[in-house]
Amino acid sequence: MNNFDWIVTVAVGSILGSSVLLKKVVILEVTTGLLVLLSLQYIFTLLSSRFKGFDKLMKKNPVLLYSKSGYITQNMRRERITIEEVKMNIRQKGYVDESRISAVIFEPNGQLSILPKPGEEKGIEDSDNLSAKLS
């Protein structure tokens, strides 16, 4: 979901909520608002699928937050992500710390991709060492 999709989703919810909660909202206004939003959504999606430049304008590129050389604080500040958030995601993927991680990428959908070093697999020894690392 890109930013425009998110905005349309919130706007549709707001229009529908207003139509239920407010007595002075006319059904024609609700219908018109929904048709305009959904038409814009269709047009933007169509343009994104046909024109690569428009798609790049609408969607973010993946951003490298961590590599073998360490955290890339400039990228983290720009994306407003803390080291603690990255570490939490690393633990959620089953790793105790960054020692087995090759890279962390902030994806356009808001998720963090955790890429292990080649040959490094999550193991039970990680969970055994977790309490020692967190203390």
pTM more than 0.85: no
Which residues does residue 64 pair with via DSSP β-bridges, in sequence order?
Answer: 105
Same domain, 70 and 119: yes
Same domain, 130 and 72: yes
Angle 61-48-51 from CA coordinates, rounded to 5°: 100
Q: How many domains is the chain built from? A: 2
Same domain, 119 and 94: yes
Neighbour tally for 69: CB within 10 Å: 6
Same domain, 46 and 67: no
d(CA 86, CA 95): 12
Look-up of token digits 């219908």: 31
State the residue range of the domain holding 51.
Answer: 3-58
Domain boundary among 58, 77, 100: 58
Mean pLDDT of 115-130: 66
Cβ(133)–Cβ(97) below 8 Å: yes
Same domain, 86 and 129: yes
CA-wise closest residue to 78 among 99, 61, 56: 61
pLDDT, tens only, 45-70 = 899 899 999 888 888 889 999 998 99
pLDDT, tens only, 74-119 = 999 999 999 999 999 999 999 998 999 999 999 988 899 999 998 8
Q: What is the identity of the amino acid at 22?
A: L
